[in-house]
Amino acid sequence: MPGLIGKKIGMTTIFSEEGKNIPCTILEVGPCKVTQIKTVEVDGYNAIQLGFSDQKESRIGKAALGHFKKANSSPLRKLVEFPADFDEIALGDTINVELFQEGDYVSVSGKSKGKGFQGVVKRHNFRGVGDATHGQHNRLRAPGSIGAASYPARVFKGMRMAGQMGNARVSVDNLQVLKVLVDKNMILVKGAVPGAKDSYITIEK
């Protein structure tokens, strides 16, 4: 089983045995319910669908309610598929934070905070112009030239320009698991994790 669904609680710091102050993120991970098992014969690929976070029945359609009843599960808010080998996993099983151990390295994915429309200095770390010399007085944070003139007579794809920043799926790899709190369904990972507080994340080995 490669991963679980969770929620970002916030950030804090802990002290190591050597006395170092380590920044870390608290994640509520699981318990997750196995709501569907996909196979090559039926679906064309092997995967496990997990559900997390209870939802009111009144906010679920009839088709989704039937889907959850097949797995003997209450309605769940967040569903995520994980490619997995399911020899030891059955429909309706519950998987919790015990999947991870202290010292493991994990990859955490989430939706980053939306920043709206931003300029190139904030969005792409452009330096901007230093001194307002040579008659220039209002172009301190402008991008400058975005291409040549008659040739190639167009702007190349991928040119770094102002635009929508954030609100996109971001993955951070090789985060170390510092603590696993089984009784609270929480783990502490070293460093920062994408997303705002209470946003959903997926954590994979």
152 prior amide bond cis, ω within 30: yes
This prediction's pTM: 0.83
Residue 79: pLDDT band (50, 70, 90) is very high
Radius of gyration of the CA atoms of the chain, in A? 23
Q: Where do we find the tokens 């916030």? A: 10
SS3 of 72, please? coil
For 103-140, what is each residue's pLDDT tens digit? Answer: 999 999 999 999 999 999 999 999 877 666 677 777 88
Domain ranges of the chain: 3-113+171-204
76-82: strand order across its sheet: 76-82, 47-54, 32-38, 94-95
* pLDDT of residue 1 exceeding 60: no
pLDDT of residue 170: 95
DSSP state of 18: T
* Dihedral sign of CA atoms 167, 170, 175, 177 in order: positive
Rounded to whole angstroms, the Cα distance separating 174 from 162 reads 30
CATH number 2.40.30.10 given to 3-113+171-204: yes
